[in-house]
Structure 1
Amino acid sequence: MDPATLIGVLGGFLVVIVANMLEGGNPMALLLLPPMLLVFGTTLLISLAGGTTGDAKLAARGLVRAFTGKAPNGALLVPHLVAAADKARREGLLALEDTVAELDDPFLAKALTMAIDGTDPEELRDILEAEVHATKAESRQAARYFNACGGYAPTIGIVGTVMGLVHVLEQLAEPEKLGPLIAGAFVATLWGVASANIIFLPLGARLIRLGELEAAQMELVIEGVAAVQAGSNPRIVAQRLRSLLPMGQREEEAA
């Protein structure tokens, strides 16, 4: 699991709480159920209204993935592809059947299985690239939901503040109640802005990034399997695949 999102979100809220305490505030004064219910509940529902129930399901899966997902690392697949290229060059594609059974990456296993079955190279590339496109589209759609939440939340917070101020005006006959009521009214705006910038927008960015990394790894697999299918020299395959890796992953793969 890559804990970047968990660290970022929790750390962001922690900084807000600490800053509030340093100013002499009470963090419990910010945990008011009505404004939190208004901001989170309304934001999630109106974001759903802008899409489909299928989009909401993708977003739910994306939420879990954002916090628990592992960032794909294509460098880990390069040795498997180079070994497959070497074995296929010496013994033929059919010799890779045992190799496929030992692979943990389902996309690589599927690609090699199709190559072993004699799928035309152009057709194989088209099928695999279609899966890459579908993966990117799913990540973008899940991210779009959270980005929409990030756009709506501040406005919903303002709506909550206006509602609170209306209630304040109803209590003008009791001046001693005005201070707490005004403070409570602005909590909705706080949660609207905070939820957008500490939760929703970072989640959207995280899902897009994970989708990019997964797509890059899948594209590396496509190039590697194409080289295996063509019977390319394993050293050339290794150099080609390493050239597709980001610099940090190249160093890791070399190590």
Structure 2
Amino acid sequence: MDVLSLLGITLAVVAILGGNVLEGGALSSLFNGPAALIVIGGTLAATILQTSWPVLKRAFTQVRWVFVPPYISMEDGIGKVIDWSVKARKQGLLGLEGMSEKEPENFARKGLQLLVDGAEPEAIRSILEVDLDAREQRDLESARVYEAMGGYSPTIGIIGAVMGLIQVMTNLENPESLGSGIATAFVATIYGVALANLLFFPVANKLRGIVGERTRYEDMMIDGIIAIAEGENPKSIELRLRGFLQ
């Protein structure tokens, strides 16, 4: 569980609601059904319109990474590679076959299998880099979905504000209806700007950070696997891979 993500969302909610109360406003004034429908519904509609179903589904699935990110440990990765290199040095590359069958990470398992199959170092690098680049691009598409939502929501909020003001202008002779129209106008703007800057853009940037960290991890794994294929000794491999920790 990512405690910082929970803390960030909690602090954002407390700051907005607490600031409203300290200014003498009522909490109920920030809750407006029509404004929420316009901003949230409009933002989702625009995002769905521009995004294919597979990308949208993946983005909504990967949002859990904000709170429960995939486990990535550079130290553990280095330890794995060193164990593989020691095994290969003692038993040859065929000795890695049992380890490849037990390896839980698909990417690492594929690299080990290539080693066992006797693939050339450059072929191994080429195959693994294609996998790495393809998955990185798919994961970044998820971040771009939330960036798009962050771009749309303030504009949809302005549309909601204009609609609220239209309601006000068309009912000037009826003072009782002016309050709800003005509330929708201002609250829609708050919803649009708040969702963009306190939710959508931070989520997009968090996903980008996780994707970047995993890419760095898998780059390290590629270097380690290539070093094993080239017959480097375990100590030399460890020194090389620890450069990724800097």
TM-score range with shorter-chain normalisation? Answer: over 0.9
**Aligned-partner Cα distance in 2 for 1:48–1:109:** 36
User: Which moves more between the two structures, 151-160 or 182-191?
Assistant: 182-191
User: Which moves more between the two structures, 74-83 or 24-33?
Assistant: 24-33
The aligned counterpart of 1:186 is 186
Any residues of structure 2 matched to 1:27-38 within 5 Å, and which?
27-38=27-38
Contact 2:85–2:228 (Cα < 8 Å) also in 1? yes
The aligned counterpart of 1:158 is 158
The aligned counterpart of 1:223 is 223
The aligned counterpart of 1:250 is none
Q: The residue matched to 2:173 in structure 1 has which SS? A: coil
**Aligned-partner Cα distance in 2 for 1:92–1:104:** 22
Contact 1:135–1:215 (Cα < 8 Å) also in 2? no
Q: How many residues align?
A: 246
Contact 1:72–1:210 (Cα < 8 Å) also in 2? no
Contact 2:120–2:229 (Cα < 8 Å) also in 1? no
User: Which moves more between the two structures, 64-73 or 138-147?
Assistant: 64-73
TM-score by length of structure 2 reads 0.93
Any residues of structure 2 matched to 1:185-224 within 5 Å, and which?
185-224=185-224
Q: The residue matched to 1:44 in structure 2 has which SS? A: helix
The aligned counterpart of 1:68 is 68
The aligned counterpart of 1:104 is 104
Offset at residue 177 of structure 1 (A): 4.2
Q: Aligned in 2, Cα 1:146/1:160: closer, same or farther, shift over 3 Å?
A: same
Offset at residue 71 of structure 1 (A): 5.4
**Aligned-partner Cα distance in 1 for 2:9–2:44:** 18
Contact 2:164–2:183 (Cα < 8 Å) also in 1? no
The aligned counterpart of 1:55 is 55
**Aligned-partner Cα distance in 2 for 1:25–1:180:** 16
Offset at residue 117 of structure 1 (A): 1.5
Contact 1:21–1:27 (Cα < 8 Å) also in 2? yes
Any residues of structure 2 matched to 1:109-120 within 5 Å, and which?
109-120=109-120
Q: Which amino acid aligns with 1:88?
A: A
Q: The residue matched to 1:77 in structure 2 has which SS? A: helix
Offset at residue 9 of structure 1 (A): 2.3
**Aligned-partner Cα distance in 2 for 1:145–1:9:** 19
The aligned counterpart of 1:126 is 126
Q: The residue matched to 1:68 in structure 2 has which SS? A: coil
Q: CA RMSD in A?
A: 1.7
Q: Which amino acid aligns with 2:120?
A: D
The aligned counterpart of 2:168 is 168
User: Which moves more between the two structures, 119-128 or 218-227?
Assistant: 119-128
**Aligned-partner Cα distance in 1 for 2:183–2:45:** 26
User: Which moves more between the two structures, 143-152 or 56-65?
Assistant: 56-65
The aligned counterpart of 1:141 is 141
**Aligned-partner Cα distance in 2 for 1:105–1:3:** 25
The aligned counterpart of 1:252 is none
Offset at residue 189 of structure 1 (A): 0.4
Offset at residue 85 of structure 1 (A): 0.6
Superposed structure 1 runs of 4+ greater than 4 Å apart = none
Contact 1:36–1:188 (Cα < 8 Å) also in 2? yes
Contact 1:160–1:188 (Cα < 8 Å) also in 2? yes
Q: The residue matched to 1:69 in structure 2 has which SS? A: coil
Offset at residue 216 of structure 1 (A): 0.6
Contact 1:100–1:113 (Cα < 8 Å) also in 2? yes
TM-score by length of structure 1 reads 0.90
Q: Aligned in 2, Cα 1:211/1:239: closer, same or farther, shift over 3 Å?
A: same
What percent of counterpart residues are identical? 35
Offset at residue 12 of structure 1 (A): 1.3
Q: The residue matched to 2:67 in structure 1 has which SS? A: helix
Q: Which amino acid aligns with 2:48?
A: L
**Aligned-partner Cα distance in 2 for 1:232–1:70:** 30
User: Which moves more between the two structures, 159-168 or 171-180?
Assistant: 171-180
- Residue by residue over 1:78-123, the C-alpha shift from the partner in whole angstroms, topping out at 9 and shown as x without a partner, is 1111111111112111112232344332211221122111122211
Contact 1:2–1:70 (Cα < 8 Å) also in 2? no
